[in-house]
Structure 1
């Protein structure tokens, strides 16, 4: 019987289809999801529908699939399911991400502790259970500080605060925004790391950590850190890239990660690269898809399937070009209708893609009323980072996000 890879959760069409398609080209995919098959249908050999938040139900579905398939790898790229997928692997006796490593990937404070123990450069931090504790932590670290939930992703509810008054408001907002799986009421207060922010995607197998894609991150909607754009390719000089690789390898090993791909976020500070966090899954924001465009022959699905089944991926060449993405937001809160892009721009050879990701009728609000309230995105290529940034901005400013304003 052909070996199968179990995928738990498939994510959203526009942001994860490339990964599922690439995986299905190389492996037999058996899938557990929360809804009936839709866009996933061409890629799934077998499927079970269940409540992904119900651990017992997920275990039962996985065991049922394992009874009829030779499952040799367990995968998820959904942030909230990382620990559950690791537990499924352990339950089935299939080598997968270690459960404790998966839990550390879901808890930013635990990561900080493990980085500190291993000597991995990162931010100074404190956990605060009250506003008074948060104020004391900020006084000890020194303003500005960053206040964040421990278990959210995509920089949701993360903000910089520069005074005690701002801290008091930020503390309550971070605590109210916390992932339900972390219910102790503790909020992370940490040192603000100044410098350009980057992310590094790597594959990890048997203690070997191999970075293969680096992205520059652009954020907006201060004091929050909404991720609005990324540029992927050869974006660092060789000395900086070498230092980044070293820190990425050490941070992934400090968490005990294995048999997966990771997305490590770092700040390039005046003291060198420092880790913001390690995500124990495929990078979001379409960064891995940008890597496929930038690197000739790269299949993210093939890489993910290889490490999940205990095989070393084929060598990944250096990027052949630079490519960037910018997300499209409304100018104000609205009920979304459509995108309107000038035809002349769509004909430009450097425009790779313009896509709508929200359905007509969706209510879109700006941070902090809503995070990741995107109408769509644009992807462009260019000769250097500055050119891509300029082209992405030009595309975004020329693309109208149409809809009816919300007056609520």
Structure 2
């Protein structure tokens, strides 16, 4: 694999637990230069250099990038942070570099724009209505029928998606959806989408668009948790999953990306498997969260960090699976509001297929599940195996060894 002749700008440092596995392989091929508000810490071994700048200030970001480009050959822009995807796209556009267009990013981040474009293209998605207040939400829910789903129009909307079972629950749950936010991302004036509830399992498909042609990398089967708040408690990626080659799913995915005008990007598409077929829930102009890219890499051997780098350079990505295994992750969430004393997790165990276990909450952290806070796990376990059943059993066993010591809090 030839090294890159030049420098790739990395927008935002991110969290080590979620981003180092993407940055490390990219650093083996290209000189990476970090642009972030904070000085580099864990990122330092993977960087050729760094400049401190607020990535949310687009004028300062562009000026800083141009300063770096004055002494280095800048070839592309990388970003793995949801809140900074649009800023990265704006920077790439100003510098005439590859990557998703600002229009494509906005088409994905504004859920109402996504819905309108998919509707105009005749693609399968939930029926929906954009509402500005509880009265409009009530009228929309009556039209759609209960149960319904209320979610913010803003990006990161899944953080605030709630299941509304009756009119009596509507006002409070809509307020919860409206208050949900993605740090660093502005809201919209009419901020709530009320959507038809569709039953069936949900999958996440990480894929890549190169010169307008879409290809999936891997499929993650999602495990859902508590209601009415949407909690993804785990994911399972099977390199042999027949959905990866399903022609109907591939058509829906390709046409969805075409409708959203995505020509060069890595993406994560959420799809519901319903009685009426594949239904698109949403698309993000970036790799999936919850360490799904790491699961995909373990299961298939396709390296999402290198695929993202290829997109940043407009290079044809290599999507050839190197092996076919199953990888899964399971997140532990608190049962109620609490203050964490400590979290203990099992040590990696190759014989048991436990590759990684990590505490995500530190001593003194206060965990506030919705509606007072956000869905915040306190730990995860990550396992691999040769089959789905074996991987699920290994996740069950590893999750059973995670222990949270915490003080319950009464925040009512």
Q: Same fold (TM over 0.5)?
A: yes
Residue matched to 1:366? 369
| Matched position secondary structure for 2:46 | coil
| Matched position secondary structure for 1:394 | helix
Greater shift, 29-38 or 145-154, is seen at 145-154
Residue matched to 2:309? 305
Matches within 5 A, 1:233-272: 233-234=238-239, 236-237=241-242, 241-272=246-277
* 2:219–2:244 contact (8 Å) kept in structure 1: no
Residue in structure 1 matching 2:187, options 151, 170, 182: 182
* 2:154–2:188 contact (8 Å) kept in structure 1: no
Residue matched to 2:128? 125
Shift of 1:166: 1.3
Alignment of 1:8 onto 2:7: no
* 1:259–1:309 contact (8 Å) kept in structure 2: no
Distance (whole Å) between structure 1 residues aligned to residue 224 and residue 240 of structure 2: 17
Matches within 5 A, 1:30-179: 30-153=33-156, 155-179=158-182
Alignment of 1:323 onto 2:327: yes
Cα shift readout 1:221-274 (whole Å, capped 9, x = no counterpart)? 211111110001246435983322221111112111132210000000111111
Distance (whole Å) between structure 2 residues aligned to residue 234 and residue 35 of structure 1: 37
Shift of 1:101: 0.6
Change (3 A) 1:315 1:158: closer
Matches within 5 A, 1:327-338: 327-338=331-342
* 2:328–2:392 contact (8 Å) kept in structure 1: yes
Aligned length: 406
Distance (whole Å) between structure 2 residues aligned to residue 375 and residue 168 of structure 1: 30
CA RMSD for the aligned pairs? 2.1
| Matched position secondary structure for 2:40 | coil
| Matched position secondary structure for 1:311 | coil
* 1:154–1:227 contact (8 Å) kept in structure 2: no
* 2:267–2:284 contact (8 Å) kept in structure 1: yes
Greater shift, 35-44 or 76-85, is seen at 76-85
Shift of 1:374: 1.8
Distance (whole Å) between structure 2 residues aligned to residue 386 and residue 144 of structure 1: 32
The runs of at least 4 consecutive aligned structure 1 residues that moved more than 4 Å come to 345-348
* 1:329–1:401 contact (8 Å) kept in structure 2: no
Alignment of 1:275 onto 2:287: no
Residue matched to 2:343? 339
* 1:352–1:381 contact (8 Å) kept in structure 2: yes
Distance (whole Å) between structure 2 residues aligned to residue 239 and residue 375 of structure 1: 31
* 1:154–1:226 contact (8 Å) kept in structure 2: no
Shift of 1:341: 4.1
| Matched position secondary structure for 2:362 | coil
Distance (whole Å) between structure 2 residues aligned to residue 383 and residue 95 of structure 1: 38
* 1:233–1:320 contact (8 Å) kept in structure 2: yes
| Matched position secondary structure for 1:72 | strand
Cα shift readout 1:152-208 (whole Å, capped 9, x = no counterpart)? 427211111121111121222212224551230331011112110000000111101
Matches within 5 A, 1:192-231: 192-231=197-236
Distance (whole Å) between structure 2 residues aligned to residue 87 and residue 354 of structure 1: 37
Residue in structure 2 matching 1:24, options 6, 20, 27: 27
Distance (whole Å) between structure 2 residues aligned to residue 239 and residue 299 of structure 1: 17
Change (3 A) 1:360 1:237: same
Change (3 A) 1:347 1:80: closer
| Matched position secondary structure for 1:156 | helix
* 1:31–1:47 contact (8 Å) kept in structure 2: yes
* 2:205–2:217 contact (8 Å) kept in structure 1: yes
Structure 2, unaligned runs of 5 or more: none
Cα shift readout 1:14-40 (whole Å, capped 9, x = no counterpart)? 011100111111111111112111001
Q: Under a length normalisation based on structure 2, what TM-score does the superposition of the two structures give? A: 0.92
Structure 1, unaligned runs of 5 or more: none
Change (3 A) 1:154 1:17: farther
* 2:22–2:304 contact (8 Å) kept in structure 1: yes
